[in-house]
A = this chain, B = another copy of it.
């Protein structure tokens, strides 16, 4: 902070510039859509589709494209995706839209947008199709942050051989996100087999006592391995955390 203040004292910076710099030191405010979030915290701003009307999602996506060249929407259904496509057509710029019907995310980019490329691998591991939504969110955002994402699916502890067969692929990654449905044992088993950081992602499957992902979450928190954890179904958080780790690794690679 003192550097900026000295620059003001020295007349090298106007007070207005200094204010803006001091503000930007924490954040820059581009209205409701936090276009400066990526610069500040390394995580691209995304629109959470659930709880918004198709119209609102379309508006926010257009703003996102305009300010950052890319719109990322999670938990968006077919109607929302259609609204985004419609809204983006109405604007002049050419955009490419990808929509994952299963994992419920949409990414739109304009012609000039160039995704960052991080030379580090993020593995996203699941036991089955019931993990598709949060695992898909995690993979998407890690990829949008630039990481090299690999899906390693159908690795369930109830069929241990599958887990063991996947060991080599697991070990090749720089960081792993492991989805955990039902009793949530998979991340613990994986973390015992690799020396890579593992992020446990509890999935809201199951019913009865400990259902809705609570058993998986508490199991991950109790794991005797070096797991860190995100909230139930928080695929976006797991993916951004993995993306930030990948960035640290890649920053080193680039530095050399």
- Mark A residues whose CB is within 8 Å of B: 1-2, 5-6, 8-9, 11, 14-16, 18-19, 22-29, 32, 34, 37, 40-43, 51, 120, 128-130, 154, 156-165, 167, 174-175, 182-185, 188-189, 191-197, 199, 202, 204, 206-211, 213-234, 237-238, 240-241, 243-245, 247-250, 252-253, 256
Contacts and interface: CB of A to CB of B under 8 A. Distances in A.
Given A25-B167, A209-B221, 10 more contacts: A6-B15, A23-B164, A26-B164, A41-B194, A42-B196, A156-B224, A208-B231, A221-B230, A226-B244, A229-B230
A25 B157 CA distance: 14
Contacts of A163: 160
Contact of A158 (B1, B51, B192, B237): B192
27 contacts: A5-B8, A26-B160, A26-B193, A27-B159, A27-B192, A40-B195, A42-B195, A43-B226, A120-B252, A158-B224, A183-B219, A183-B224, A195-B244, A197-B241, A207-B231, A208-B234, A209-B214, A210-B221, A215-B215, A221-B229, A223-B237, A226-B240, A229-B230, A248-B249, A249-B252, A252-B253, A252-B256
